[in-house]
Amino acid sequence: MKAIGVACGGYTSEREISLKSGNLVFNLIKDSKFECYKIDVNKKKYTVIDKFENNFLLNKKNFQFFKNDLSFSFDYIINLVHGSPGEDGKITKKLEDLGISHSTCNSSIAELTFNKKKCKEIAKKIGIKTAKSILIKKNHDFSEKEIGDKIGFPCFVKPNQSGSSFGISKVYLQKELKPAIIKALKEDNEIIIESYLNGREVTVGVYKLNGKVEVLPITEIVSENDFFDYKAKYEGESDEITPAILPIELERKVKKDALNLYNKLNLRGITRSEFIFKKNIPYFLETNTIPGMTEKSIIPQQFKAANKNLKKIILAMINEGLK
């Protein structure tokens, strides 16, 4: 029987969301033909958990564990670790070195897409619009006035490598920049400051199965808050309209850009890209190579809107990865 691991947790503020994603997917597949385990990825240790809640210590170096005095290794890993060390490519690099098949893009692509600034630069090179932005590194001097002159207000201050809207601030005045930068630097050593785009915000899921890339129904985000922050994402303070009610031409444009990003970046598995329409043109915000899979997450909503069974999709991806 093939052993399947669902890796979740991680080292960042996204840990709790990742654990919920892992639980949802694990519960979908735990009674399948595979021998399924959760892998709780923690800084101190990696713990393997079976469907009876028995715990086993995972060897980080070879991804093996002992059960009933027998050594077990994994045939396939579903990577649901949001943030580091999952979304930034560290775990996938280890799996690649060990020859273990996994659900996401390769480690070099993961490292690229996790870096918002670098990912935007690639998007621009392939003809996709992005907001004006600058990068600031920890312990480097910066001028609030120069930032204001170049980017303008309002603007967004974000960790360059983070997700789930942790550390993000919308800044209206120059005097608000410094505290927003300090807040973002608590999540990452680099921050990105972007000009504000006023328009409809959408998010587009894309996945690949058996060589075919498919774009899922679009979701429009209508936040009750000033922007799509953590509370809007996970505590119900937003309307997520799936499928989005968009003019056909706008739908066509944003699906084309999401598909182009997926193919040009050589992505794999299930991804989600975010855009804002400005004067009917989609502007790219970021790509999530390991999007949330909680009960409140957008990707499960999009599969439901597409009349696709998420459990069947995940099992099909496992079967494909085992070939």
Structure confidence by residue, pLDDT tens digits, 20-70: 999 999 999 999 999 999 999 999 999 999 999 999 999 999 999 999 999
CA distances (Å), 97 to each of 63, 92, 102, 182, in order? Answer: 11, 8, 12, 37
Q: Give CATH for domain 3-103.
A: 3.40.50.20
- Averaged pLDDT, 255-283: 97
pLDDT of 163 over the 70 cut: no
State how far the Cα of 260 lies from the Cα of 292, in Å rounded to an integer: 22
Please return the burial class of 308, using the count of CB atoms within 10 Å of its CB with bins 0-12, 13-18 and 19+.
middle
Query: What does the pLDDT read at residue 239?
Result: 87
- Averaged pLDDT, 223-243: 64
pTM attached to this predicted model = 0.89
Structure confidence by residue, pLDDT tens digits, 98-112: 999 999 999 999 999
- Averaged pLDDT, 306-316: 98
Query: What does the pLDDT read at residue 138?
Result: 85
Domains in the chain: boundaries? 3-103, 111-129+198-321, 132-195
249-255 long-range contacts, CB within 8 A, separation 24+ = 249/280, 250/277, 250/280, 250/282, 251/218, 253/280, 253/281, 253/282, 254/202, 254/204, 254/218, 254/282, 255/204, 255/215, 255/218
How is residue 61 annotated by DSSP?
T
State how far the Cα of 65 lies from the Cα of 81, in Å rounded to an integer: 19
Strand pairing class (270-278; 3-9):
unpaired
Which stretch of 123-137, 204-218, 222-236, 301-315 has the lowest confidence by average pLDDT?
222-236
Query: What does the pLDDT read at residue 44?
Result: 93
Query: What does the pLDDT read at residue 236?
Result: 53
Confidence of residue 232 (pLDDT cuts 50, 70, 90): very low
Which stretch of 55-64, 128-137, 161-170 has the lowest confidence by average pLDDT?
161-170
Which stretch of 6-15, 27-36, 77-86, 134-143 has the lowest confidence by average pLDDT?
134-143
Tokens of 307: 């009349």
Query: What does the pLDDT read at residue 319?
Result: 97
CATH topology identical between 3-103 and 132-195:
no
User: In the Cβ-directed half-sphere of 54, how many Cα atoms lie within 13 Å?
Assistant: 9
pLDDT of 166 over the 80 cut: no
Domain with residues 132-195, CATH architecture: 2-Layer Sandwich (3.30)
The residue ranking higher by pLDDT, 96 or 163, is 96
Structure confidence by residue, pLDDT tens digits, 171-225: 998 989 989 998 988 888 899 999 999 999 999 999 999 999 999 999 999 876 5
Please return the burial class of 45, using the count of CB atoms within 10 Å of its CB with bins 0-12, 13-18 and 19+.
exposed
Query: What does the pLDDT read at residue 237?
Result: 60
Say whether domain 111-129+198-321 belongs to CATH 1.25.40.20: no
Contact 213, 205 (CB under 8 A): no
How is residue 131 annotated by DSSP?
-
Please return the burial class of 279, using the count of CB atoms within 10 Å of its CB with bins 0-12, 13-18 and 19+.
exposed
Task: Please name the residues in contact with 150: beta carbons below 8 A apart, sequence gap of 6 or more.
Answer: 132, 134
Task: Please name the residues in contact with 39: beta carbons below 8 A apart, sequence gap of 6 or more.
Answer: 5, 6, 7, 8, 9, 46, 47, 48, 49, 58, 77
Confidence of residue 234 (pLDDT cuts 50, 70, 90): very low
Strand pairing class (76-79; 3-9):
parallel
CA 288 to chain centre: 3
pLDDT of 74 over the 50 cut: yes
